[in-house]
Amino acid sequence: MVNRYFFVLLLSLLYVSNAAALQVQTRAERMKIGVGESLQVQLRLDGSPDTEPDFTPLNPDWEILGRAQSSQFQIINGTSSHLVIYNLTLMPKRAGYLTLPALCFAKDCSQPLVIEVTDKPRGDAGQNERLILEADISPRQSVTQAQLLLRVRLLRRVDLREGSLSEPKPAGVEAVVKKLGDEKRYETRREGQLYQVHERSYAIFPQESGTLKIPPLQFDGVLLGGGMRLDFLGRQQGQRVRVKSQPLQVEVSPPPADLGRRQWLPALDLELNDDWQQKRPDFVVGEPVTRTLRLRARGLQAAQLPALQPLMPDSFKTYTDQPTHEDRLVPEGLEGVLEQKIAIVPTRPGIFELPAVSLPWWDQQQQRWREAKLAALQVEVAPGAAPSAPSLVAPPPPSATPAAPPRSHPPAEVDAVPGFWPWLSLGLGLGWLLTLLWLWRSRRNQTTPLPKSVAAARPNEKAARLTVIQSATCNDAQQTRIALVAWSQTLWPELSVGAYEKLIQSAGAELQQELAQLDRHLYAREGQPWSGQRLISLIKTCALPAQTKQAVALPDLYPNEGN
């Protein structure tokens, strides 16, 4: 029992002696570096630390880019040793004499070191600097939602093993940042030195007025070639470098005071055109035509462009598709493109003028209002084809074949028999006379107006309605539309055109809604799916127009023949 207590006491004394012998050392690979150059620092501990080191004292002047830990344990001739090593990669945050502060493990701390960080003047970039990071923005004064063009260039004349460039993060006002395409690579010469250039472009759209600030952008890389060196453990390691651009700022003004109700479109250039200016389509009542409007704006995003809905006369129905948007890359930055398709259906014939289309916009370069405009168009609408009706006129009789010229015969005898030719001529003459009599009676029956009751009682209306129901049962939208037009013309035969519009006006709200849905399905590019079942039920239950109902009544048995 005594021996065991003695052994525990001996181990405790050895632990206390090791703890008392704990030493913390700080080593730096160089005592003088430049701004943007990394520094390798090693923290060595002889012994077993009780806690992890506290690196927060480095934060004011240094940034920790990397940290690695290793340990060694040795027993030589019965004597044990434990070595813990921390390898730090530090980047200075400013120039001057910067102190590596004491780093502590609980109560055991290292000795501070002073490192000289030099600031290389930019005027010597061509001779001394291996990496240059430039940034410029234009214009330096702008308005809200207008495009700012930011270009960032990394110039290098050293080889890089790896590298990363930070993205712009505007401050001061809310802004939208769009990267423009891929990175460009080319060469340039500065003060006799050839540089490889990596260029990135960004479009920035401030959303409010104020001072837009672009903080310095930062590039972190690892050099190859001459930048390679051995670390404290003898391993080959590339030199880390960092460069920053200069900060930028732009004054952003609000829209002009005379904005009023105008759409705010601050662009470098804006064009409005359509496919009817050069060649106009043929207009026929009831047949749809498509008008395509295109809006192109340099210096704006497509999402900023408004949908186009030109005014149309009352004699035209319009069905507007959802506009398509596209952003294109141009040398000046972004170009927004909007395309709007409109299906237009004329409802009556005649000559009409389609109003001009105008869109005001703000010229960012000239700082004034301008207007994009499409001239008014004069169009002529032809009547639609009337529905075919059975002909009441008999086909004309076949034309009589002219008699062939008489052949030359030898002189006939005086008492020769006439033959059958006179009888044939007499039969043809009687046939012509009967035909003319039949045509006269048919023409008289046609020109004599029928009583309204008899005209309304014709089965054409019922047959036309049945055709509508049959087409709708097959869910054939196109044939249903044609059948509806034919049915409406049987309801209002006195209207040569416009009977379908009369049907829409006389129909109830539910039937009107169903007819409008049918037109949207036919004439809108992205029409909704259509089924004819609801239309069938509405047509079967709908009431006929008042004038037709009255006409269906039977005529009086004994009409009054005057008093």
Q: How far apart are CA 226 and CA 162, in angstroms?
A: 15
pLDDT of 17: 44
Detail the DSSP E strand segments found in 93-170.
96-100, 104-105, 108-109, 113-118, 131-138, 141-143, 148-156, 160-165
Tokens 């509806």 — which residue? 484
Say if residues 355 and 318 touch (Cβ distance below 8 Å). Answer: no
> Closest Cα partner for 239 from 164, 159, 165?
159
Q: How far apart are CA 55 and CA 53, in angstroms?
A: 6
The Cβ of residue 205 has, within 10 Å, a number of other Cβ atoms equal to 22
**Length of the chain, in residues:** 563
Side chain identity, residue 159: D
pLDDT of 122: 41
Q: Give 357's pLDDT tier (boundaries 50, 70, 90).
A: very high
Q: Give 125's pLDDT tier (boundaries 50, 70, 90).
A: very low
Asked whether the predicted pLDDT for residue 153 surpasses 70, the reply is yes
Asked whether the predicted pLDDT for residue 257 surpasses 50, the reply is yes
Say if residues 101 and 61 touch (Cβ distance below 8 Å). Answer: no
Report the first-to-last Cα separation within the chain, whole angstroms: 153
Tell which phi-psi region holds residue 310, choosing left (phi > 0), alpha (psi between -120 and 50) or beta: beta
pLDDT of 457: 42
Say if residues 361 and 299 touch (Cβ distance below 8 Å). Answer: no
Asked whether the predicted pLDDT for residue 423 surpasses 80, the reply is no
Q: What is the DSSP letter of 43?
A: E
Q: Give 296's pLDDT tier (boundaries 50, 70, 90).
A: very high
At 118, list the tokens: 């030099």
SS3 (DSSP) at 439: helix
Q: How far apart are CA 382 and CA 379, in angstroms?
A: 10
pLDDT of 385: 66
At 72, list the tokens: 């060694």
Across 139-167, b (16+ Cβ under 10 Å) vs e yields eeebbbbbbbbbebbbbbebebeebebee
Q: What is the DSSP letter of 287?
A: -
Render pLDDT for 459-486 as a digit per residue (tens, 0 to 9).
Answer: 478 888 888 888 888 888 888 888 888 8
Asked whether the predicted pLDDT for residue 455 surpasses 70, the reply is no
Say if residues 364 and 149 touch (Cβ distance below 8 Å). Answer: no
Q: Give 210's pLDDT tier (boundaries 50, 70, 90).
A: very high
pLDDT of 26: 84
Render pLDDT for 507-524 as a digit per residue (tens, 0 to 9).
Answer: 888 888 888 888 888 777
Q: Give 198's pLDDT tier (boundaries 50, 70, 90).
A: very high
pLDDT of 302: 94
Render pLDDT for 259-284 as a digit per residue (tens, 0 to 9).
Answer: 888 999 999 999 999 988 778 899 99
CATH of 122-253, one of 3.40.50, 2.60.40, 2.40.128, 1.25.40: 2.60.40
pLDDT of 453: 43
Side chain identity, residue 182: D
Q: Among 19-23, 157-161, 214-218, 252-256, which stretch is predicted with the lowest mean pLDDT?
A: 19-23
The CATH classification number of 263-382 equals 2.60.40
pLDDT of 21: 47
Percent share of the chain, pLDDT over 70: 74
Side chain identity, residue 145: Q
Q: How far apart are CA 6 and CA 12, in angstroms?
A: 10
How far is CA 533 from each of CA 464, 476, 538, rounded to the nearest angstrom?
17, 11, 9
Q: How far apart are CA 222 and CA 91, in angstroms?
A: 13
The Cβ of residue 77 has, within 10 Å, a number of other Cβ atoms equal to 4
How many C-alpha atoms does 431 have within 13 Å on its Cβ side?
A: 11
Residues near 467 by beta carbon (within 8 Å), at least 6 away in sequence: 483, 486, 487
Domain 21-118, CATH class in plain words: mainly beta
pLDDT of 527: 60
Structural domain spans, the chain: 21-118, 122-253, 263-382, 454-552
Render pLDDT for 363-372 as a digit per residue (tens, 0 to 9).
Answer: 999 999 999 9
pLDDT of 360: 95
21-118 and 263-382 share one CATH topology? yes
Q: Directed axis angle between helix 499-506 and helix 477-491, to 10°?
A: 90
pLDDT of 266: 96
The backbone torsions φ and ψ at residue 414, rounded to the nearest 5 degrees and listed phi first, read -65, -35
Side chain identity, residue 473: T
The secondary structure of 482-517 as a DSSP string is: HHHHHHHHHH-TT-SS-HHHHHHHHS-HHHHHHHHH
Q: What is the DSSP letter of 79?
A: E
Q: Give 4's pLDDT tier (boundaries 50, 70, 90).
A: low
Q: How far apart are CA 303 and CA 262, in angstroms?
A: 17
